[in-house]
Every structure is written in C-alpha cells, then in structure tokens.
Amino acid sequence: MDHTSNVDIYSQKLSDEEFRRIQRFMLDTLGIKLAPIKIVMVNSRLIKRLKSTGIGNFKDYLDYALSSEGRVNGEFECMIDELTTHKTDFFREPEHFVFLREQVLPNFVSDRYAPFKIWSAGCSTGEEPYTMGMVLNEYQLANPSFDFTIFATDISNASVMRGVRAIYNKDSLSGVDKNLIRKYFLVSRDTTENKVRVVKQLREKIHFSILNLVDDYFFQNGSLDVIFCRNTLIYFDDVSKRQVVGKLIEKLKPGGYLYVGLSETVSQFSTAIKQVSPSVYVKLN
Ligand SMILES: C[S@@+](CC[C@H](N)C(=O)[O-])C[C@H]1O[C@@H](n2cnc3c(N)ncnc32)[C@H](O)[C@@H]1O
C-alpha cells in the first residue's frame, strides 16, 4: 500500500477501469446503478477517503476497502457511505404524513396484542422514523387504545448511529410544527451549540438496525402495516428495484401501504399493489 505523504492526493484521477470496478461493486452489493457521468462525483468523494486513510492512489485504496481487512476495519462501510446519498428531512414530502394521519391510521383496527407496525426502509440519519414517531404518538394521545412500533433500517452504519444518537442541528427543524418541537425535542443548554435531541420517550419507540435491502429481511411475511421506502430505490437498477419492491410487498399485510418518494413510481414492478395517492400504494388482498 502506498502511504507516502508526498503523493498529491487531490490530483488523483479514477481510471475507467477503476470506475467500472466501483460500478460493478455498487450494483452487485447494493443494487445501485452508477451512471458513467457519476465518475466526477465518485472521484471527488473518494479523494476524501484517500486523505483519511493516507493511501496515495485509487487502485491501492480499492484493493484495501474491498479486502477482508478493509471490511473488518470499517473502510468498506466508509466507502459505501461516501458513494450513497443520505439527504433527508423531518416531514420530508409532508403530504405522505397527512395521508398516514388522515387515511391510514383511522382505518387501523387497534388490537392490544398487535400494535401498528411501520418500517422506514432506507431511514438515513433518522429524520423519517422520528417524523413517523411524532405523528403516531400524537395519534396515540387522541386514541389511547392505539399502540405502535417503528422499525428503521439503512445500509449505512454511520447514518444508523446518527439516528440512534438522535442529535440534530436546530436548523433541521424548520419544517416542524412549534408544538411538536416543544414536545419532542430537548434543546441543548449550551446556547452556542445549536443542537437538539429527540426526547427519550420517542427514541425508545424506534428500533434501528443495519439492513441491505438487496439481502434478506428479518420481518415475517405479511406482518407490517406500512412501509416507507422513499428516495432510496431511485438509485437502484430496474432488476434490483423489481426484486426489492416484490420483497417489500411480501412483508406487508394485505391492505397494508407502501410509500415511495414523490418522484418515484413502482406500479410497473408488481400487480399486487394499487396506487391510492401520489406515490402511495396499497397491497391488494
Ligand atoms: C436519500 S436517503 C432517503 C432517506 C429517507 N427515506 C427520505 O426519503 O428522506 C437514501 C438512503 O438509502 C440508503 N441505501 C442505499 N442503498 C441501500 C441499500 N441497498 N439498502 C439499504 N439502504 C440503502 C442510503 O444509505 C441512504 O441513507
């Protein structure tokens, strides 16, 4: 491995062969299709990893990150983190949460042995499952017999860990109602810090774990009421999209709902679902 400090890391350029190696890896491991135009983005993001690891060129870096040593040392995950998009927000695509509150929840029949089960698949840093948590907790306050469980998964270990910590910049709350902020966030005592933390009561409702959507899922078939898989499949190739959509639908109860991002459509991948609202699908019986 070239760890020489006098190599100019910033001038390193990915060769076509190295980029093809990354494309193959991303497709095989994550189902993500990297278009040729992404070479510039990949180049600049992986330069950060060259800098952090002190490895002087892309060939040695890829050999290391993809080796068993790289996997054990966490570089494999750092590379995935750099090559995936984690953009998210509280109440992102707010109409989805309106549909949840006004259409989905009132039709759920409460049963104290079977709480409402919802999964944020591709949860990034946690804003989506915590938004679900606020909506569901508010619903529970008005309907005391209602109970819920939220599962949140992502392939990115770093993102999931941020979700578990539940500490966010105050600015990220700009789309959140003031009453909800007061109820569900603790503001740092240090006024220079600009940080907030989700309250314990809500943190305890979210079960975070790491899961690659291309692999097997730990949920039982037909066990979930709602799955959000938003702005995640968008990066997948069509073959992986079809497989993942099929597996997600399998995990839903008949009559359960699958949400994708507002710019996505998945009805072409399955006849087992019907669209009921923009980018919301119901599983047919
Ligand atoms: C753009 S974020 C979407 C976050 C959230 N669902 C939303 O809409 O705001 C996409 C997330 O999908 C995750 N992701 C990408 N490929 C994945 C895979 N194969 N399995 C699980 N998660 C994946 C990324 O790590 C990233 O956090």
pLDDT score of 163: 98
Of the candidates 154, 142, 141, 146, which has an alpha carbon nearest to the alpha carbon of residue 228?
A: 154
Do residues 77 and 100 share a domain? no
CB 211 within 8 A of CB 84: no
Query: How much distance in Å is there from the Cα of 184 to the middle of ligand 1?
Result: 24
What is the identity of the amino acid at 256? G
Identify the domain boundary among 59, 83, 107.
83
Do residues 78 and 100 share a domain? no
Looking up tokens 């549909």 gives: 99
Nearest-CA residue for atom 16 of ligand 1: 30
Number of domains, the chain? 2
* Separation between Cα atoms, residue 85 and residue 71, nearest integer Å: 20
Note down the domain range covering 29.
Answer: 9-83
DSSP H/E element including 180: helix 178-184
Do residues 138 and 279 share a domain? yes
pLDDT score of 271: 96
CB-defined site of ligand 1, < 6 Å:
30-32, 84-88, 92, 122, 124, 128, 154-156, 159, 212-214, 230-232, 261
What's 93's DSSP letter? Answer: S
* Separation between Cα atoms, residue 168 and residue 156, nearest integer Å: 17
Atom of ligand 1 nearest to the CA of 127: 9
Please tell me the total number of residues recorded for the chain in this structure. Answer: 285
Do residues 41 and 134 share a domain? no
Instruction: Tell me the whole-structure pTM to 2 decimals.
Output: 0.94
pLDDT digits (tens, 9 = 90+) for 159-182: 999 999 999 999 999 999 999 999
Query: How much distance in Å is there from the Cα of 108 to the middle of ligand 1?
Result: 27
Atom of ligand 1 nearest to the CA of 85: 1
Do residues 48 and 136 share a domain? no
- pLDDT bucket at 5, cuts 50 / 70 / 90: low
pLDDT score of 145: 93
Average per-residue pLDDT in the chain?
Answer: 95
Do residues 150 and 271 share a domain? yes
Looking up tokens 């135009």 gives: 37
Do residues 218 and 161 share a domain? yes
pLDDT exceeds cutoff 90 at 2: no
Nearest-CA residue for atom 13 of ligand 1: 122
> For residue 25, what is the domain's CATH number?
1.10.155.10
